[in-house]
Amino acid sequence: MALITKAVRGTRDVLPHESQALRYIERTALELAQAYGYAELRTPVFEHTELFERGMGDTTDVVQKEMYTFFDKGGRSVTLRPEGTAGAARACLEHGLLAEALPCKVSYVLRCYRYEKPQAGRYREFSQFGVECFGAATPAADAELIALAAETLATLSVTDTRVEINSIGCPECRKRYLDALRAHFAQRQSELCETCQGRLEKNPMRILDCKSPVCAGIATEAPTVLEYICDACAEHFDGVKRYLDAIALPYEINPRIVRGLDYYTRTVFEILSEFPEAKGLVLAGGGRYDGLVEELGGQHTPSLGFGMGIERVWLQMQALQAPLPEKHLCELYIAAMNSDALQRAAQLAQELRASGWHVEYDIVGRSLKAQMKYADKIHAKNTVVLGEDELKNQRAKLKDMKTGAEELMTLPDFADEFERLMLRRVERDILEGFGDDVTPFPQP
C-alpha cells in the first residue's frame, strides 16, 4: 500500500528510541541553567512578523531568506519563530519582567523554523536550547554566559569542542568599521551576490556571513572588526577574557565571527565541533545584544544570550558514543494463564502503575508461551505468572529475569512487597558500585 504522503522535507520524526535521549539533553540543559539562575520561559511558536524583522534585523539571512511567513485567516502577517531571543524579549517586556529587579534570566527549549537547504545538522524544523539575560552590562555576565554554554556541553559529555570569542563593538565604533568594510567590498561590488549587493550600503557586515563561495572569498580579505573597536569596547572585551581566564575556561579569539543577527553588540561567541565528521559545525552561538530591548520599544537594557542546536548536540553525542541514562525498561511483566488471572493481572498492574512502576500484561490475547516471549523481547526486568494455583493460594513467584532468582510474593500484598524488593535491589546495586545495567556517568 502506498502512503498518501511523507514528512515534509527538512523535518524529522523523533521515534521512541531517540526521544528519551533528547529529553535527557533538554532536561540536563534546563536544570544546569537553573543552577545559573535561569527559569524556564515558554513563548508561542508564531509571532507577528515585524517582531523578527525588527528584532533580528531585516538585512539578515534569516529574515531575508529563511522565515516561514504567512497571512493567517484574519489577514495578519505571522511568522513561525526562527529563533528564541526576539520572542523572549517581547514576552519579558510585555509582562513587565524587565521593570522588576534585574537581571531577568530566562531559559527555554523550543522548536524553530527556518527555510534552509536541509543537510546533516541543518533542518527546517529544529530545536534550540537557549538562555537570555536581560539587564546585565558587565564583562562578568558575558563570561558567565559562555561558561554556561560550555558547561552544558561538558555535562552532556560533548567533548571535542572549541570556544571562539570576538567583540564586534558598539554602534558607535562600528560606524568606522562599516565604512572600512564598504570600501573593501565596493572594490569588487560587481562580483558580490545579489543579496550582498543590496547589503553593501545598508549593512556590509552581513556580507561577512554570506554563504555564497564568491562573497565568502572576498570576505576573507576584509578588515576585521577588532582593529576598529573603541576603548570602552576593548576594555569590556579585556574584562571578558580576564573572567574566562579566572574560571579556567579555554577560548580562542576569532576576529571573523560576526554572528548572523543584526542586534549583537560587543561580545559574540560560538562553540564549534572539532569532531572529525562534524568539524566546523556550530553547536552554540550567542553574545551580547545591548540594543535589542530598546529596538522593541523598551528602555535601554544591556542584555545577552545564546542558542544551542539540540539536534547538532545529539549528533555529536552519538558520534562520540556519549553515555546516556539507563533505558526505561518494563519493571514487571504479568503473564496470565486464563481470563480470571488476566483480570487479576489488570488489577495488579493498575495498582503498581499508580506508584510509578512500568508494568505490562497481555492485552492482545497471546498464549502463555507467546506472553513470555514478548516479555523477553521488551527486556522486562521481572516476570510473574498467574494461573489457577496462584489465584487459589494467593501466592506467586516473581522472577528476576537477569539473575533468574525467584521470590515468593503474596498477591494481596503484592504492590508493597514489590516496592520493598525493588528498593532492596537499588541498595544492593549502590553498595556494589552499580549493576552493569546502569550506564555509568563519566567522572568530571
From 17-25, 100-108, 283-291, 355-363, span contacting ligand ATP (CB under 6 A): 283-291
From 119-127, 334-342, 422-430, 435-443, span contacting ligand ATP (CB under 6 A): 119-127
Q: Which of 48, 85, 36 is nearest to 304 (CA)?
A: 85
79, 47 Cβ separation under 8 angstroms: yes
CB nearer ligand ATP, residue 90 or residue 206: 206
CA dihedral 324, 329, 331, 334 (to 10 degrees): 180
CB nearer ligand ATP, residue 131 or residue 284: 284
Contacts of 296 (CB under 8 A, 6+ apart): 51, 54, 55, 86, 89, 90, 93
Q: Which of 368, 364, 403, 367 is nearest to 382 (CA)?
A: 403
Residue 116 contacts ligand ATP per CB under 6 A = yes
Q: Which of 14, 93, 85 is nearest to 311 (CA)?
A: 14
Q: Which amino acid is at 266?
A: R
Distance CA 345, CA 349 (A): 6
Distance CA 115, CA 117 (A): 7
Residues 92-111 that bind ligand ATP (CB under 6 A): none
CB nearer ligand ATP, residue 122 or residue 241: 122
Q: How many Cβ atoms from other residues are within 10 Å of residue 80's Cβ?
A: 20
From 47-55, 121-129, 417-425, 428-436, span contacting ligand ATP (CB under 6 A): 121-129
Evaluate the CA torsion angle 376, 379, 384, 387 in order and state its sign.
Answer: negative
How many residues of this chain bind ligand ATP (CB under 6 A)? 17
CB nearer ligand ATP, residue 219 or residue 341: 219
**Through-space distance between the first and last CA atoms of the chain, rounded to whole angstroms:** 52
Residue 268 contacts ligand ATP per CB under 6 A = no
Residue 160 contacts ligand ATP per CB under 6 A = no
Residue 260 contacts ligand ATP per CB under 6 A = yes
Residue 176 contacts ligand ATP per CB under 6 A = no
20, 31 Cβ separation under 8 angstroms: no
Give the nearest distance from C-beta 165 to ligand ATP in angstroms: 14
Evaluate the CA torsion angle 145, 18, 319, 436 in order and state its sign.
Answer: positive
Q: Which of 272, 266, 270, 244 is nearest to 257 (CA)?
A: 270
From 34-42, 116-124, 179-187, 430-438, span contacting ligand ATP (CB under 6 A): 116-124
Evaluate the CA torsion angle 194, 198, 200, 203 in order and state its sign.
Answer: negative
Q: Which residue has the cell 555529536?
A: 316
From 120-128, 158-166, 355-363, 366-374, span contacting ligand ATP (CB under 6 A): 120-128
Distance CA 27, CA 87 (A): 21
Residue 312 contacts ligand ATP per CB under 6 A = yes
From 304-312, 317-325, 326-334, 352-360, span contacting ligand ATP (CB under 6 A): 304-312
CB nearer ligand ATP, residue 62 or residue 352: 62
CB nearer ligand ATP, residue 103 or residue 307: 307
Residue with the shortest CB distance to ligand ATP = 309
The three grid cell numbers given for residue 432, joined into one nine-digit string: 556494589
Contacts of 321 (CB under 8 A, 6+ apart): none
Residue 87 contacts ligand ATP per CB under 6 A = no
Residue 305 contacts ligand ATP per CB under 6 A = no
Give the nearest distance from C-beta 199 to ligand ATP in angstroms: 16
Residue 128 contacts ligand ATP per CB under 6 A = yes
Residue 26 contacts ligand ATP per CB under 6 A = no
- Contact with ligand ATP (CB under 6 A) among 93, 278, 283, 398: 283
CA dihedral 330, 336, 341, 344 (to 10 degrees): 0
- Contact with ligand ATP (CB under 6 A) among 21, 28, 49, 122: 122
Q: Which residues bind ligand ATP (CB under 6 A)?
A: 83, 114, 116, 121-123, 126, 128, 260, 282-285, 307, 309, 311-312
